[in-house]
């Protein structure tokens, strides 16, 4: 075998190995490596994490993961009663790690009320005397056809999914800069990496988060500030309950079908925690074939777009969830954050 044939065989073998690793993973390869050999989750012990959007889904399970490893927590969302349940859960799983009642601060608020952000941050500092990590997890999903979306829906979702999180980060940032260290975490989505069908406004908000925070990373990298973008795929949650539609003040009220292929929320939250303690820049968390498709879109974008145009609508229809009987419901205070 001459050198060129040996070289080509080596390249092909490496490609097959990488493909197999991706197909048998539920996160990008860097994240999988850090899960096995990186900074352990116990490094969260004693640090203060502010989880915004902690009342359900990934935010709730992430709070449990951090609490179980001794982290001190500020948990925020609109729904105070749900936050009370989350606090109880955090204290239960964190008991062995030494957590006591004062180690979990309940701080309910609406992230879109930006004028209150400084006041709430001051409350965090009064209670704990410090903040180590801000986790921006608040947001709403959406299911709608592009051409039918009322512009007021676009504005509402951007206020919730983007502007509230950007403003809160800007409120916290001077404190981090004064210490020359800090960590901002943003829950984006695989929808922030590509244009999935029937979720135009939601996709746009996630793309906008990447625009804002990738820029912030480039400006703040030399100033001791880390920024982690987390991109989960399909996860079991109640996200469709308060999911927006094409009409203002309306929610889908759907449920996720039991036959859908989705990641368990607990597993997603654990991988989120791994990404956070290892201060990774961006991570992808998803089952296949979505994970593989992300790699295709990243490294062969034309091929990825062609596949998305042909099969994206069909796949989106399968994952839109089972809608409750009757008309969509008017939006009320039960919507998640």
- The Cα-based distances of 129 to 47, 86, 109, 133 in angstroms read 11, 23, 20, 13
Tokens of 277: 């303690």
- The Cα-based distances of 150 to 206, 244, 245, 249 in angstroms read 19, 11, 9, 11
Catalytic residue among 49, 175, 202, 221: 202
State CA 11 to chain mean position distance: 35
Q: Are 133 and 50 in contact (CB under 8 A)?
A: yes
- The Cα-based distances of 107 to 51, 76, 183 in angstroms read 10, 5, 20
Q: Are 86 and 60 in contact (CB under 8 A)?
A: yes
Q: Is 212 a catalytic residue?
A: no
Burial class (CB in 10 A: 0-12, 13-18, 19+), 249: middle
Residues noted as catalytic: 202
């Amino acid at each position: 075998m001459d050198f060129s044939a040996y070289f080509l065989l080596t390249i092909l073998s490496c490609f097959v190995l990488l493909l197999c690793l991706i197909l048998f993973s539920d996160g990008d390869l860097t994240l999988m490596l850090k899960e096995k050999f990186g900074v352990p989750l116990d490094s969260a012990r004693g640090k203060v994490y502010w989880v915004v959007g902690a009342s359900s889904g990934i935010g709730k399970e992430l709070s449990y993961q951090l609490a179980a490893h001794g982290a001190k927590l500020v948990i925020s969302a609109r729904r105070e009663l749900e936050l009370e349940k989350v606090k109880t859960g955090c204290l239960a799983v964190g008991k062995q790690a030494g957590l006591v009642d004062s180690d979990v601060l309940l701080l309910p608020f609406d992230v879109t009320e930006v004028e209150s952000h400084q006041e709430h941050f001051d409350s965090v500092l009064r209670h704990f005397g410090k903040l180590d990590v801000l986790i921006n997890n608040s947001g709403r999903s959406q299911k709608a056809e592009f051409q039918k979306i009322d512009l007021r829906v676009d504005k509402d979702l951007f206020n919730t999914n983007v502007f509230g999180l950007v403003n809160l980060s800007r409120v916290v940032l001077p404190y981090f800069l004064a210490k020359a260290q800090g960590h901002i975490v943003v829950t984006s989505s695989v929808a922030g990496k590509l244009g999935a069908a029937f979720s135009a406004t939601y996709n746009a908000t996630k793309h906008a988060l990447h625009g804002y925070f990738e820029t912030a990373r480039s400006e703040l990298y030399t100033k001791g500030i880390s920024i982690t973008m987390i991109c989960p795929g399909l996860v079991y949650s109640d996200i469709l309950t308060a999911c927006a539609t094409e009409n203002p003040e309306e929610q889908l009220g759907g449920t996720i079908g039991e036959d859908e292929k989705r990641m368990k929320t607990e597993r997603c939250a654990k991988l989120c925690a791994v990404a956070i303690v290892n201060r990774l820049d961006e991570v992808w968390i998803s089952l296949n074939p979505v994970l593989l498709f992300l790699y295709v879109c990243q490294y062969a974008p034309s091929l990825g777009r062609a596949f998305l145009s042909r099969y994206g609508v069909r796949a989106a229809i399968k994952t839109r969830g089972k809608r409750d009987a009757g008309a969509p419901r008017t939006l009320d205070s039960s919507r998640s954050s």
